[in-house]
A = this chain, B = another copy of it.
Amino acid sequence: METLTIGEMAARSGVAPSALRYYEREGLLHAARTGGNQRRYERADLRRIAFIKIAQQVGVSLDEIREALAELPENRTPTKADWSRLSSRWRHRLDERIAMMERLRDQLTGCIGCGCLSLQRCHLINPRDRLAARGTGPQMILNPPSDKP
């Protein structure tokens, strides 16, 4: 009797019912059905939804999120350990993304300091266009030199 209707889930998670149905179609979520074919969610599904929202905040597509969630056990309610394993990977994603944004910020500040704002071929930071061979755009930020010497 610990089940929730789609409306209750929507209220508690902040995600519209239509979105929850969409997630189900996309395989991110699964709900049991009543005799009358209505969805009944378990409380644990709120965790899944929270996870989805967080991952989206980080800029991850539903496709990738689905893949990640696929690692959770299907037959039993995920345990703390299940979530821990999954989440430590996402901590890395978050760390990476945070690092990228910090580079972004520092470049923005730095290059504005020198007045160039080029961010891809700043002569102060990148004297000889050595990044030109590594693709177009703001390479230093999206793909910092330390990654590939």
Contact = CB atoms under 8 A, between A and B. Distances in A.
A141 interface: yes
23 contacts: A13-B120, A14-B135, A46-B118, A47-B118, A50-B117, A51-B117, A53-B138, A54-B108, A54-B119, A54-B138, A54-B141, A57-B100, A57-B101, A57-B142, A58-B101, A58-B104, A59-B59, A80-B112, A84-B112, A87-B108, A97-B101, A98-B105, A101-B101
Interface in A4-56: 11-15, 46-47, 50-51, 53-54
Given A80-B112, A80-B115, 10 more contacts: A11-B136, A14-B137, A47-B117, A54-B138, A57-B100, A57-B104, A58-B101, A94-B101, A94-B104, A98-B102
Contacts of A80: 112, 115
Contacts of A100: 57
Identical subunits present? 2
A108 B50 CA distance: 10
Interface of A: 11-15, 46-47, 50-51, 53-54, 57-59, 80, 83-84, 87-88, 90-91, 94-95, 97-98, 100-102, 104-105, 108-109, 112, 115-120, 135-138, 141-142
